[in-house]
Structure 1
Amino acid sequence: MTFDLSLYLVLDPDLCRKHTMVETTRAALRGGVTMVQLRDKTASTDAMIKVGHQLMAVLAGSGVPLIVNDNIDVALAINADGLHIGQDDMPASLARQKLGKDKILGLSVEDPTALRTADPALVDYIGLGPVFATSTKPGHKPAIGFDGLAHLARQSPLPSVAIGGLKQEHVGAVFAAGAQGLAVVSAICGQPDPELATRTLATAISAASAPPLSLSDQGE
């Protein structure tokens, strides 16, 4: 299936306490989010399945895919649009075998060695980072910064999305580095108005990713 990495929301249950993950997703959908990931490292599989079904209902017919982080059982149970795995999770070959060929498979990449494991025959996109250290994912690998992001994005054989502490003010740098989008957590989750936060990000992304105007476009 086709997908758009430009504004990728990664849900966080702790940040979404005021607005639940379902409410946040509904608001983000109105604001222009392009992908949503269900990530909850502490919930049971049954609890994730329950929330996953609700998220699938919210996103139904929107064209915005729901990706499940790590838990293949949840992804299969809710017929999610895809799965995102890290370097320490199940091998991409096994994930692809279980998912089938028509689902989206994402892989986290932190360095050139990990990048070489991203097989375009198995994986559809890669998540590059963390660009900055972030409290939403304890124990993450060292931050790579925008220089590291650009280095990996240039070498990547697959579309890439940047992740790790990213906010609206980083949009231009993410696209300048060569990534196709940015994954955000606290820039939407936990914001007083998640719809407005999403729309503001979407507007910045549209400006940053638009091709430069030619002289003829400018009427000169």
Structure 2
Amino acid sequence: MMRLHIAGLCVLLSTGCGRMLVGLAGMHAFDHDVTPAKADRLAQRMKIPAEEDLVLSQRYSHHLEAMRGTMKEKTFSVMYQPLQLRWYSKGGRAQWIIPNCDVGGYPNLQWSRFGLPDTLFANLHCRSYADSAWTLADDLRFMTSRTTGEAPVLRQDVDGYLLVYWSYFMGRQSVRLARHIHKWQENQGRAVEVRFVNVDSLMMGVDKPEVE
């Protein structure tokens, strides 16, 4: 049932047309098994540094369901998006969320609408997704290092925090987003702590992508 909340995946249909659209966008079929090797290969293409590589536990979806009555419905929905950018202040308060459903573009998502890769900004609509009561700690408690399994440790002497949600299912779109973020880090993001978060476990309904 959790996966029904993932907006923006309506093209992942069982029809031939749906499969064609998925292929043109460089995505993988939603029912495709995600093995550690497959996730690793995509992470390598994304050039994610080991210290920035996290994975989201499926326990996160249970937490969201428990919090559903206390947050705006639109905020609840975007938190299931397979690609998103989440910005937090220096104090760890959520400032904005850019979900893939707001980016638009086909066959490739056009992140340039939010300034990438040269800069990064969010419009008022994306700022409205942020719940003032939601903090960085609310996200990190459900994340571990994808390689070591240890809890993430973030620097404190930074101007802000950016979580980049990605998934194997989004294939080429995950790679393109990572390239934009790397270039942005070189241009403007050096004072921002960045973490890439694999969310395939949330989408598949299992804890970590370990299905052979």
Task: Please give the TM-score of this superposition, normalised by the length of structure 1.
Answer: 0.30
After TM superposition, the score normalised by the length of structure 2 is 0.30
Based on CA coordinates, which of the two structures has the bigger radius of gyration?
A: 1
